Structure 1
Amino acid sequence: MRNWKNIEWIFEKDGALRDIFVQNATISDWKNVVDLLNSEYKLTFGTYENNLTDRIDFSYVETMFADENGELEIKSATIDLSGIIVKCYFVLENQIEFDINPTEIKTELEFNKIMDFMESISRKLEKQITLCGENQPEFPLIKIDTKNGIKKVLTEKEAEKLWAKSDQSFSGFTKLKSKIILKYFPKMFEKKIMESANSEYKSIPKEKNVW
């Protein structure tokens, strides 16, 4: 039985989103995830509020991955986990990524919905899935790997110890005097799209993770 007081720090309101990653992904993984989302979850797919459908068009997703010039209209998916909104962006073929707003995770009930969602994807793909601070896939705060029996949620103390040990490997980042690690890397999806277009937004393999 988990103690919510050891979990809630992960979802502290800090102006940043939380990312959910499947690293080292393949186009087959994307197809399996899209099939799972279409069959098991309430969702919309489209461009913001325009031309929304209740199913993800995987053929269109494939064309977005192949669109090197950025000419296609960018579409995303919005998944409704009984009131918790999960966004899915089709940016990189080799990294599956979702965003959630931590302000929607107020109790263990909402937390369990996120955990169930992550478990369903890990089970479908037989791969590891992680929840991280925004734009920091190297530092999992939650790790689930159903195939290997892993279901770990870091406490704040555990995260601080790992951060201290791995600090040298994050030489490009500025370490702030913040209460929690999650406050270090605020971003918005629009910034991510700009990075993808102008400076090649790249995936991070799971071998780069600190644990």
Structure 2
Amino acid sequence: MKNWRNIEWIFEKDGALRDIYIQNTTISDWEKVVDLLNSEYKLTFGVYEENLTDKIDFEFVKIMLADETGQLETKSATIDLNGIVVKCYFFLENQIEFDINPTEIKTELEFNTITYFMKSISSKLEKQITLCGENQPKFPLIKIDTKNGIEKILTKKDAENLWKESDQNVSGLTKLKSKIIMKYFPKIFEKKILESANSEYKSTPKEKNVW
């Protein structure tokens, strides 16, 4: 029996999104996910509101995933889970990625909606799916693998212990330093953001996860 009080910390408002990852994927996995989303979920696909469709065009997805020029129009999917907005991006063939706004997960009911969504994808692919902090694929907060009967949700204490063990915790000093740089030296902060944006976006293999 899940205790919402042990779970809600994952969705505390902190200005960041929560990412959902399926790692070590193939184009076949992408096709299965697109089929599932198109058949089971209410969604829109595209860029501009006047050109949105209610199905994901898998042929265009394949072109996006294979594109190396960076000049192709990139489309995303927006999935409506009973009012919870889930975005799906088509960045990498070997990593499927969604994101949600944690402020939309206010109760156990909404949490169950998200985990049901995750389970449906894990079951379809027979692969592990994780929910993580934004851009933190190595550190799952929720791990589901229906094929192997795994459904693990970290408590705050679990996460703190793992952070200490993995040395991934960002110290208060580092956070404070970032805030100071952003406030008083915006040009430096802007440069850091640009450097990050210009770096190559790579997938994270499941084997590199902390747990």
Counterpart of 2:78, as a letter, is: T
Per-residue CA deviation, residues 151-184 of structure 1 (Å, 9 max, x unaligned), is 00000000000010000xx4xxx72229xxxxxx
Normalising by structure 1, report the TM-score: 0.87
1:65 CA drift (Å): 1.1
Runs of 4+ deviating beyond 3 Å: none
- Name the CA distance, whole Å, in 2 between partners of 1:79 and 1:93: 20
Counterpart of 1:99 in structure 2 is 99
Within 5 A, what are the aligned runs for 1:63-102?
63-102=63-102
Q: Secondary structure at the match of 1:53?
A: coil
Counterpart of 1:177, as a letter, is: G
Question: Which of 158, 165, 172 is 1:177 aligned to?
Answer: 172
1:22 CA drift (Å): 0.1
Counterpart of 2:131 in structure 1 is 131
Counterpart of 2:207 in structure 1 is 207
Greater C-alpha Rg = 2
Per-residue CA deviation, residues 60-91 of structure 1 (Å, 9 max, x unaligned), is 00111111111211100000000000000001
- Name the CA distance, whole Å, in 2 between partners of 1:48 and 1:11: 29
Unmatched segments (≥5 aa) in structure 2: 174-192
Q: By percentage of residues, which structure has more helix?
A: 2
- Name the CA distance, whole Å, in 1 between partners of 2:71 and 2:17: 27
Counterpart of 2:157, as a letter, is: K
1:48 CA drift (Å): 4.2
More displaced, 59-68 or 137-146? 59-68
- Name the CA distance, whole Å, in 2 between partners of 1:49 and 1:18: 24
RMSD: 1.6
- Name the CA distance, whole Å, in 2 between partners of 1:48 and 1:21: 25
Counterpart of 1:188 in structure 2 is none
Counterpart of 2:15 in structure 1 is 15
Size of the alignment, in residue pairs? 191
Unmatched segments (≥5 aa) in structure 1: 179-190
Identity %: 76
- Name the CA distance, whole Å, in 1 between partners of 2:160 and 2:144: 20
Per-residue CA deviation, residues 88-134 of structure 1 (Å, 9 max, x unaligned), is 00011100000000000000000000000000000000000000000
- Name the CA distance, whole Å, in 1 between partners of 2:54 and 2:171: 42
Q: Secondary structure at the match of 1:7?
A: helix
Counterpart of 2:172, as a letter, is: K
